[in-house]
Structure 1
Amino acid sequence: MLVLTRKVNESIKIGDEIEITILSVSGEQIKIGIDAPKHVEIHRKEVYLDIQNENNQASQTSVDLLKQLNINFKNAR
């Protein structure tokens, strides 16, 4: 993990397209601004993990449904 120290209004660049700017610091909270192209998805980590979990559950449901449909189709013959 890279650890950097930045002050308010200072930025960090990630590649050519992403810039993270420190907007304010208040106690233990830090506000950051992220400037990135629209095709780059940006989520808080807990939201990202929830999305991944939902996607995994949806894909598993699809596999289970296809298996059941296949069984039903074979039995209908």
Structure 2
Amino acid sequence: MLVLRRRAGEAILLGPDIEIEVVEISKSRVKLGVRAPRTISVTRRETSAIAAENKQAPALAVAGSGLENIVRLLRNTPSLL
């Protein structure tokens, strides 16, 4: 892992077309700005982990009239009301 020190307003380049700039520094946080082509996906690590978990979750299949089944399910689950 490459570790760099940057001040507010300074940036690093990743290749010719990705720039990460230190926008603001506070006591416990650093605000970063990322400039990248639209073809590059930029996400936070915790967001991508949640998305991966959601993809693994089984889909809820509702047979018949969906709304009626949801109402019945909610009525039979007191902790949800």
Q: Structure 1 length as normaliser, TM-score?
A: 0.69
1:44 is aligned to: 44
Q: RMSD of the TM alignment (CA)?
A: 1.6
Q: Check if 1:2 corresponds to 2:2.
A: yes
Residue type at the aligned position of 1:7: R
Where do 5+ consecutive residues of structure 1 fail to align?
63-77
Displacement of 1:53 in angstroms is: 2.3
Q: Which is richer in helix?
A: 1
Displacement of 1:22 in angstroms is: 0.3
| Whole-angstrom distance in 2 between the partners of 1:53 and 1:40 | 22
Q: Check if 1:20 corresponds to 2:17.
A: no
2:68 is aligned to: none
Q: How many residues align?
A: 59
Which residues of 2 match residues 49-64 of structure 1 at below 5 A? 49-55=49-55, 57=56
Where do 5+ consecutive residues of structure 2 fail to align?
60-81
Q: Structure 2 length as normaliser, TM-score?
A: 0.65
2:29 is aligned to: 29
Q: What is the CA deviation profile of residues 9-67 of structure 1, one whole-angstrom value per residue up to 9, with x for unaligned ones?
A: 00000011100000110101111100000111111110011122223x16xx59xxxxx
